[in-house]
Structure formats: structure tokens, C-alpha cells
């Protein structure tokens, strides 16, 4: 199964990004599944490198890395990055600056699209 996750919310403050990454990771770990994840709007901040969070608090950068290690692809809206002052060099390892055109391609590719 090919699943696309589209994240809209900031990485912290609500649990939507956290829960979407939990589900994306679980699906990616299952044999035969492929996962793509697109961060748009405030979710672009979730791809920031070197996040420091309080002890015992979830870290979306670490969670994104787990997804990538299981074959997931992670794109970050370039327009949204620019609006938030996020440079390519500040992106977490394995994520990449992306475009609406790539999101359209991934949407056509996917069997399922989940929006958080």
C-alpha cells in the first residue's frame, strides 16, 4: 500500500503532527508499505534540524528520522520554508525542499492520502 501523509500543523502545541508521525512510522514498518510525507504550512517547522525538547517530551525530528530509515520520503513545502525563514541547510537529515508539483505527483501515486 502506498500512503501519503500531508501535515499542516506546527510540530508542537497540538498532537496532530506527533500522532501523524506515529501512524506514518507504524505503516512504514509494515512489509509492503511505502510512505511519503509532505509538510506544508506550519508543519514545515517540523523539519527543522537539531530540535531541543524537554527531557521525556517527543521529538518530531527523531520521529521523522525513524520514518526515513524505514524507506519513507519527506518533502517540505519550499514556499512555506521561505515564509518561515527556514533555509535548506536547516532541514533535518533525509528531508528535502519540495514543491506543490511534487505534492501533486505524490497524491497521484498514493493509494491513500491522510491529511493531519
Tell me what pLDDT residue 53 has.
84
For the chain, the average pLDDT equals 96
Q: For 17-73, how does the pLDDT look when each residue is reduced to its tens digit (9 = 90+)? A: 999 999 999 999 999 999 999 999 999 999 999 988 888 889 999 999 999 999 999
Contact in structure between 38 and 98 (CB atoms under 8 Å): yes
Contact in structure between 116 and 19 (CB atoms under 8 Å): yes
Tell me what pLDDT residue 84 has.
96
**Separate counts of helices (H) and strands (E) for the chain:** 4, 5
Which whole-number Å values give the CA distances from 103 to 11, 30, 56, 70, 74, in the listed order?
20, 23, 33, 20, 11
> Which three cell numbers, joined as nine digits, stand for 34?
511505502
CATH number (3.40.630.10, 3.40.1260.10, 3.30.1490.100, 2.60.40.420) of 2-115 reads 3.40.1260.10
| Domain boundaries, given as residue ranges, for the chain | 2-115
Amino acid at each position: 500500500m502506498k500512503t501519503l501523509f500531508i501535515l499542516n500543523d506546527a510540530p508542537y502545541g497540538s498532537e496532530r503532527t506527533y500522532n501523524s508521525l506515529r501512524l506514518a512510522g507504524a505503516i512504514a514498518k509494515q512489509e509492503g508499505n511505502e510512505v511519503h510525507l509532505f509538510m506544508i504550512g506550519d508543519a514545515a517547522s517540523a523539519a527543522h534540524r537539531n530540535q531541543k525538547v524537554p527531557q521525556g517530551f517527543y521529538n518530531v525530528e527523531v520521529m521523522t528520522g525513524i520514518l526515513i530509515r524505514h524507506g519513507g520520503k519527506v518533502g517540505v513545502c519550499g514556499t512555506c520554508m521561505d515564509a518561515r525563514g527556514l533555509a535548506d541547510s536547516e532541514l533535518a537529515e533525509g528531508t528535502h525542499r519540495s514543491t506543490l508539483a511534487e505534492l501533486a505527483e505524490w497524491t497521484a501515486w498514493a493509494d491513500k492520502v491522510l491529511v493531519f
